[in-house]
Amino acid sequence: MMPRSAILMILFIGNFLFFCGPSQSGSKSELQTKGYELKSQFPIREISVRGRVVKNKEKNLYHLEFEPNSIHLIQLHKPSKIQLKLPYVNAQTFVVNLHYKNDAFTSNFTFPEGWIDSSQLEAVFYTKQSFGYKIPLNTIYSPFGKYQSVYRVVDGKAIRLNVEVIGIKENQALVVGDLMLGDILVISRLGELVDGMSVKVNL
């Protein structure tokens, strides 16, 4: 017959493993990440126009022409930049600078030969009538792809949120989306995340 002390020891070890086991496995499922807090926003609104790409005499040099209604919108708001929505899958952001003289504007830009396969393109510019955010480029999942998104931390979980990148400069991106001041975005290990995963964020 097994000694009483041995039985008590087995029960003690069993209870210890029972109570400690779940917490250990739970800690492994919580991903440690770095985070970024949204502390500022800027007013912005997108206006869409249709542009026609026209090739200049110089090699790889083009300019944009617009319908009268689009010209009116551009002259009214006078954007310094206009973004072309290129007809390619996973096309990178391409921005054209506009230069004004009185009521007229010019839009000369260079482009690799043969890249433009459509004379009509949608173009957008932005005015100060809604809000956008400047965030680190590495908070964005697929920043140059078609389905751009970020992971916002809500109640300790990473929730995927679609955003639109409207400009990229060095390691910063300008985005619009359903974001708010004070939101915490995941800034590392995006490839390991799935929507709803538990995370512990270090700011």
What pLDDT sits at residue 9?
53
Of the candidates 194, 132, 187, 134, the one whose C-alpha atom is nearest the C-alpha of residue 160 is 194
Q: How many CB atoms lie within 10 A of CB 82?
A: 24
Residue 107 has a pLDDT of 93
**Would you state the pLDDT for residue 144?**
82
pLDDT of amino acid 61: 87
**How confident is the model at residue 4, as a pLDDT?**
58
Whether pTM exceeds 0.75:
no
* Paired tokens of 144: 């140059």
Q: 37 and 203 in contact (C-beta within 8 Å)?
A: yes
- The per-residue pLDDT string of the chain (203 residues; one tens digit each, 9 = 90 and over) reads 556 555 545 445 445 444 444 444 444 478 999 999 999 898 888 899 988 888 888 878 889 999 888 998 999 889 999 998 877 766 677 889 999 998 799 999 887 666 665 567 889 998 888 889 999 999 999 888 878 999 999 999 999 999 988 888 889 998 988 999 999 999 998 889 999 999 999 99
